[in-house]
């Protein structure tokens, strides 16, 4: 059944002074951890300076999480999105599990460092913003190409080399 205009007027209302701003994605060197090889991406507004020290901190954090047994990989490939949103950082760790499923863990950074993102009440949970979904869409297509390949070493390398770049909207 189609919504009428009167039924839509109160849905998805945002302040008039807010505007959707694109961001850019910057691929980094893959992160190799025990049981995983993950593509690395930094996401930020184009006019915002890179923060390599935060990227290094995030990489060290994930290595420590794996070493402590709090983050387990099963000989998987995937990707990390380190998303700078103003002064905040969110880190999405995504792996391809059970052949064609994307599994995701979410972290955020505060003054103490990176922490697991706390669950929200209710059934629905935040997963990805539209910019992160844009990057994930690229990764989904790249993984599908890998699944349709012979899945040997060259195909794995082709997946790693297939980086998302440019503007995310």
What average pLDDT does range 113-121 have in this prediction?
A: 94
Asked whether residue 25 carries a pLDDT value surpassing 80, the answer given is yes
Residue 48 contacts by C-beta under 8 Å, 6 or more apart in sequence? 84
Tokens linked to 27: 């691929």
Cβ atoms of 25 and 43 within 8 Å: the answer is: yes
Average pLDDT, the chain: 95
pLDDT in tens, 126-154: 899 999 999 999 999 999 999 999 999 99
Tokens 């993950």 locate to 38
pLDDT in tens, 4-17: 677 888 889 999 99
**C-alpha span between 45 and 48 (Å, rounded):** 5
pLDDT for the residue numbered 126: 87
pTM of the model: 0.94
Q: Is residue 1 very low, low, confident or very high in pLDDT (cuts 50, 70, 90)? A: low
**C-alpha span between 156 and 145 (Å, rounded):** 10
**C-alpha span between 30 and 55 (Å, rounded):** 12
pLDDT in tens, 74-105: 999 999 999 999 999 999 999 999 999 999 99
DSSP states of 102-163 as a string? EEEEEEEEETTEEEEPPPPSSS------HHHHHHHHHHHHHHHHHHHS--SHHHHHHHHH--
């Amino acid at each position: 059944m189609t919504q009428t205009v009167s039924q839509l007027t109160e849905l998805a209302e945002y302040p008039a002074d807010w505007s959707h701003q694109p961001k850019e994605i910057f691929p980094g060197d893959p992160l190799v951890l025990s049981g995983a090889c993950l593509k690395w991406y930094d996401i930020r507004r184009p006019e915002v300076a890179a923060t390599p020290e935060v990227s290094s901190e995030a990489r060290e954090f994930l290595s420590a999480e794996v070493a402590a047994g709090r983050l387990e990989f099963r000989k998987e490939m995937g990707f990390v999105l380190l998303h700078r949103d103003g002064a905040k950082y969110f880190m999405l760790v995504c792996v391809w599990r059970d052949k064609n499923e994307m599994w995701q863990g979410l972290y955020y950074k505060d003054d103490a460092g990176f922490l697991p993102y706390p669950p929200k009440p209710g059934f629905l949970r935040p997963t990805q913003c539209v910019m992160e979904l844009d990057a994930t869409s690229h990764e989904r297509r790249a993984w599908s190409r890998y699944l349709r390949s012979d899945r040997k070493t060259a195909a794995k390398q082709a997946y790693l080399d297939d980086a998302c770049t440019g503007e995310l909207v």
